[in-house]
Amino acid sequence: MIRAEAEARLRQLRVEIEGHNYNYYVLDNPTIPDAEYDRLFRELQGLEAAYPDLLTPDSPTQRVGGKPLSSFTPVRHRVPMLSIRTETDTTPTGALAFDVRVRKELGLTELDPPIEYAAELKYDGLAMSLRYEQGLLVQAATRGDGETGEDVTQNVRTVHAIPLRLKADPPPDVLEVRGEVFMRRDDFERYNEKQRSLNKPTLVNPRNGAAGSIRQLDPAIAAQRPLSFYCYGIGETVGWDMPATHGQILDALKALGLPVSDERIVGPGSPALVEFHRTIADKRDRLPFDIDGVVYKVNRRSLQQQLGFVAREPRWAVAHKYPAQEELTTVEAIEVQVGRTGAITPVARLQPVFVGGVTVTNATLHNEDEVRRKDVRVGDTVIVRRAGDVIPEVVAVVMDRRPMRDLIEPLHPAFTLPTTCPECGGPVLRIDGEAVARCTNGLGCPAQRKQSLIHFASRRAMDIEGLGDRLVEQLVDKGLVQTPADLYQLSLESVAALDRMAEKSAANLLAAIETSRGRELHRFIHALGIRNVGEQTAKDLARHFGTLDALMASDEAALLQVNDVGPIVAESILAFFSEPHNRAVIERLREAGAWQDGVARLAGGGHLVGKSFVLTGALPSLTRDQAKEMIESAGARVTGSVSKKTDFVVAGTEPGSKFTKAQELGITILDEDGLITLLQAGSDQNETSN
């Protein structure tokens, strides 16, 4: 390749790769397979190695580069990064107080029209200033004290959501963008899970994970941490046509290729703010990242300038917080729980504390390594975190509050995992390479029996209504049930004799067990509780093999042909079916008629095979599970996010951002009637072919 051709190809590759980065990291909408992206990236690396003088600082290959720093260089902000006043009333009515203050400062009366406000999220991460000159990212600095921050450019260049060059021709001479670096919850959990599997330190929470990653002196380490970024304002600008409102500024930043959240509104008066606060509160736990509140701003810049500042805080903006998701409490005891796979999990018994909207008395400590790394001991004051449906966890010990630190060892020794199971006395072993220790007694352990039965009866498995934790505990403790197959042998008399059970309740339970006979194959596979086999994998296995016998007879090569089944999952399946005890229980369940083969369509069956659906909002008459099951029975897959690969979005009431994204991408949107019509079209085809 001659030099001119190489130079043209280099430019093309850089534009193409950054476009794919934007789709993947900003829009959450990948447009090419990972293997194709890797091929393009390797081609770019090869050309730059062959023509090193053509290497540019905005090349995608330069996102991870530079030697470790000995310290960060101070950066003086040309426009200070000011703090925002906080509204302490965490109820929606807190927005009213802000509106009253603003109107008073502007000298408005009740007869004057409402003020137009912009409302957006208050991200829980690290404030950041990005400086672009002639469209090129030249510096990134932390907020610091507002006047002076730290130069973290090398680390920020590793954040793929942040463009190295703006989409503008011509670009502004200078544009400073203010925003927040944060870590998504799923990225945080995946990173910590990987660290635990390697017996390495985990991150305390997403906020600390983001801040600690950006302040790493070695950019190569920072690059290993999955970070995201959203803009929320600007600093110094030169040669940029400044929009008249805050909402328009964010729209303009988005047009330049900068990531801007869609969770924002512009609306009139305090009612718009109250409604935004309520709406975000309702979906707070479903957001993919942490927030600790929302921010209200007077939308029009001319009014912002009129209002000005007080004590280095703008009068035209306020942060309206939500109840905290982290609180302090005391560890009263450390115990262990035994799961259905025998996993031994340390649990902290806590002095009750209200956090994340509920009173928390227990919190997971994950495993022995985590307890020792955090050095959690009885009597410690700890930070407890609960967000959404996530199990509460102890994230850190407040060492300054540890009583009698010099005497702590004899009074409260470090946690040691028991060598025998607290439920059955069986040996507890930890396999090399695993962070979790397990009781090796299998279903001989009452705790594992109980958890396995609870899982077997759960709604997404065999769906045995009324068979809850307390009833399972009694059935196991009284020796009435040892394996799931024993459920189908229970008598009315034995069940009615249990505590808080009468003949009618017992009859209802037996009727529910009877109803569970003949469940779909994928439900039965899921109910077996095979390690690493969740609901979706069970469906994939049922579709692929069609019968349980075919699945049980499969080898590793056959299992690896199933969608999303890798070596670890295949090994778990083979190990489960190789156990004589498990095969004996399955044979007894066969005699009970617990499942029916062939209910899940085989791979290649169904008129919607290969199609991808996304469900959003509440449907009038179908639950989400019912709609999902109907779609999957037609051969399609239901995914959680909208992308260009999505074929249909099924939208009910209050569909949210998925609906908006589907409209932007031109994806077919169906209501419930449209979905049913589409599904019936396949039934009509089948009847015609018969």
Tell me the C-alpha distance between 482 and 424, whole Å: 14
Are the C-beta atoms of residues 542 and 525 closer than 8 Å to each other? yes
Q: Is 405 buried (19+), middle (13-18) or exposed (0-12) by CB count in 10 A?
A: exposed
Are the C-beta atoms of residues 321 and 123 closer than 8 Å to each other? no
Q: Which residue has the higher pLDDT, 193 or 272?
A: 272
Reading the block at residue 671, the tokens are 């209501």
| pLDDT reported for residue 652 | 87
| pLDDT reported for residue 15 | 86
Q: Which residue has the higher pLDDT, 686 or 58?
A: 58
The confidence band for 473, taking pLDDT boundaries of 50, 70 and 90, is very high
Minimum mean pLDDT range among 36-45, 383-392, 529-538, 550-559:
383-392
Q: For residue 112, give Cα distances in angstroms to 4, 115, 308, 372, 599.
A: 65, 9, 21, 62, 66
The confidence band for 690, taking pLDDT boundaries of 50, 70 and 90, is very low
Q: State mean pLDDT over 139-164.
A: 90
Q: For residue 483, give Cα distances in angstroms to 74, 213, 444, 510, 582.
A: 65, 48, 10, 16, 10
The confidence band for 640, taking pLDDT boundaries of 50, 70 and 90, is confident
pLDDT for residue 520 is more than 60: yes
| pLDDT reported for residue 647 | 92
Please name each of the domains of the chain with its CATH number.
3-62 (1.10.287.610), 86-93+96-108+112-321 (3.30.470.30), 326-411 (2.40.50.140), 442-515 (1.10.150.20), 519-596 (1.10.150.20), 612-689 (3.40.50.10190)
Return the top range by mean pLDDT from 221-225, 323-327, 376-380.
376-380
| pLDDT reported for residue 33 | 64
pLDDT for residue 304 is more than 60: yes
The confidence band for 687, taking pLDDT boundaries of 50, 70 and 90, is very low
CA atoms within 13 A on the CB side of 502: 1
pLDDT for residue 603 is more than 60: no
Tell me the C-alpha distance between 434 and 448, whole Å: 19
The confidence band for 344, taking pLDDT boundaries of 50, 70 and 90, is very high
> For residue 514, what is the enclosing H or E element?
helix 503-515
| pLDDT reported for residue 290 | 87
| pLDDT reported for residue 431 | 73
Tell me the C-alpha distance between 489 and 208, whole Å: 53
Question: What percentage of the chain reaches a pLDDT higher than 90?
Answer: 45
| pLDDT reported for residue 31 | 64
Q: For residue 405, give Cα distances in angstroms to 398, 412, 413.
A: 12, 10, 12
- Report the amino acid identity of residue 146: G
Tell me the C-alpha distance between 627 and 633, whole Å: 10
Strand ordering across the sheet containing 116-123: 86-87, 317-321, 291-298, 116-123, 265-268
Indicate the SS3 state at residue 438: strand
pLDDT for residue 390 is more than 80: no
> For residue 39, what is the enclosing H or E element?
helix 34-50
| pLDDT reported for residue 689 | 47
| pLDDT reported for residue 508 | 94
Quote the mean pLDDT of the chain. 86
Q: Which residue has the higher pLDDT, 3 or 687?
A: 3
pLDDT for residue 122 is more than 70: yes
Q: Which residue has the higher pLDDT, 679 or 66?
A: 679
Give the active site residues. 122
| pLDDT reported for residue 484 | 94
Residue from 405, 366, 367, 361 nearest 384 by CA = 361
| pLDDT reported for residue 42 | 80
pLDDT tens string 330-340: 999 999 999 88
Provide the terminal-to-terminal Cα distance of the chain, rounded to the nearest Å: 60
Q: State mean pLDDT over 521-549.
A: 91
pLDDT for residue 40 is more than 70: yes
Residues 6+ apart with CB under 8 A from 292: 122, 124, 321, 322, 324, 325
Tell me the C-alpha distance between 209 and 382, whole Å: 18
pLDDT tens string 69-105: 567 899 999 998 888 888 867 777 789 999 999 999 9
Q: Give the residues across from 385 on adjacent strands.
A: 326, 393
